[in-house]
Amino acid sequence: MSRIVMKFGGTSVADIERIRNVARHVKRECDAGHEVAVVVSAMAGATNQLVAWTREAAAIHDAREYDTVVASGEQVTAGLLAIVLQQMGISARSWLGWQIPIRTDAAHGAARIADIAGHVLLDRLRQGQVAVIAGFQGIGPDNRITTLGRGGSDTSAVAVAAALKADRCDIYTDVDGVYTTDPRVVPRARRLDRIAFEEMLEMASLGAKVLQVRSVELAMVHGVRTFVRSSFDSPDAPQTGPGNLPPGTLICDEDEIVEKQIVTGIAFSKDEAKITLRRVADKPGVAASVFGPLSDANINVDVIVQNVSADGRHTDMTFTVPRADFERAMEVIRSAAAEIGYEEVSGSADVVKVSVIGIGMRSHAGVAAQMFKALAEKGINIQAITTSEIKISILIDAAYTELAVRTLHSLYGLDEG
């Protein structure tokens, strides 16, 4: 017998019929003798409607009241699923974040989980009761409802799994696992049976939308084995995947992966904009004068490239920011022109970041050289490069996105079959 946390996203609980399908998945695990906790999102579209109503009520509003409103979507789903489970003869009850409680910090709208008191849930699970938990929410230091930000139900599920010392956290979504790249771009992309926490963290942060980045971080820190699978598979489907699991992807420790590929996946992000400063004074403190004001404006900077100074006095600097922050970042840089001391600033939102990811890169040389050669042969110019132990990211013109991704996917032998 195992202890399992099951998480279902908005599309999985979009209406009553889908909630009944979710209940059948839960019943299957209960019938197998497992202790089960379920974390649910709001029904598809519900959160957007709640946010719209909040903004319609007042463009500038109290963040605490915003959380009170938007957290109600998950409350509805949790109650409905508990009712359906009870109707099926399964002992179940719904839990809101404050009832457990899931303690968070005071950052309303983007709170971070500080602690989960899991002993009450554990007692109920041991008695055979299914806990249906409203995801995305907790309770702050002021005893007000808080929410965890978009995708926060993934984080809720992993945190609950860690608190309950669950054997596995199953993330049910509208895709059947983690793929080597986006199948809409590369039809021959294949589903991965297993992927290491570090690789999944890189893929999530670099453009893959399967899991929220914070949930992967939490899973890695606490060693929560996380299984991504489709909620639209039949609840009666045979368990045919690796380790007697159904089709899906297990996110686990690197030690659980016997055959490590050099490259595991190709990620890309279109949410990028590039800013270049020409002839910046090459002196101590200049980087702080550039990135300090951006930080003060809560604008995240990713790739940074600084050219070697030829004359010892001036250099060029290029960096990327989220596309949504491009105009605001340009304004910040222009406002700080006197302090920075550049001669010209230019930028473009027509760029994309493409990344090659794999834990096997740690022990294999030549991965980058292969990448650069293959892209050069396709006439793709690289504008910036950044690397880590297990990833290489490049910035290219957005028009070459699909060509670059397909080229690299084939280059590293990731095409199915």
Does the annotation list 179 as a binding residue? yes
Does the annotation list 223 as a binding residue? no
Does the annotation list 79 as a binding residue? no
Amino acid at 11: T
Amino acid at 214: R
Are the CB atoms for 320 and 384 separated by under 8 Å? yes
Does the annotation list 226 as a binding residue? no
Which residue from 305, 224, 213 is spatially nearest to 267, judged by alpha carbons? 213
Does the annotation list 10 as a binding residue? yes
Calculate helix-pair angle for 72-87, 16-31, nearest 10 degrees.
60
Does the annotation list 417 as a binding residue? no
**What are the CA-CA distances from residue 118 to residues 83, 128, 365, 383 (Å)?**
23, 15, 46, 49
Does the annotation list 174 as a binding residue? yes
Amino acid at 34: H
Does the annotation list 9 as a binding residue? yes
Does the annotation list 197 as a binding residue? no
Q: Which residues contact 238 (CB under 8 A, 6 or more apart)?
A: 246
Which backbone phi and psi does 237 adopt, to 5 degrees?
-65, 140
Does the annotation list 173 as a binding residue? yes
Which residue from 349, 291, 339, 350 is spatially nearest to 317, judged by alpha carbons? 291
Give the Cα separation of 413 and 417 in Å (integer): 9
Does the annotation list 184 as a binding residue? yes
Give the Cα separation of 282 and 294 in Å (integer): 19
Give the Cα separation of 22 and 231 in Å (integer): 7
Does the annotation list 8 as a binding residue? yes
Q: Which residues are annotated as a binding site for substrate?
A: 47, 74
Q: Which residues are annotated as a binding site for ATP?
A: 7-10, 173-174, 179, 184, 209-210
Q: Which residues are annotated as a binding site?
A: 7-10, 47, 74, 173-174, 179, 184, 209-210
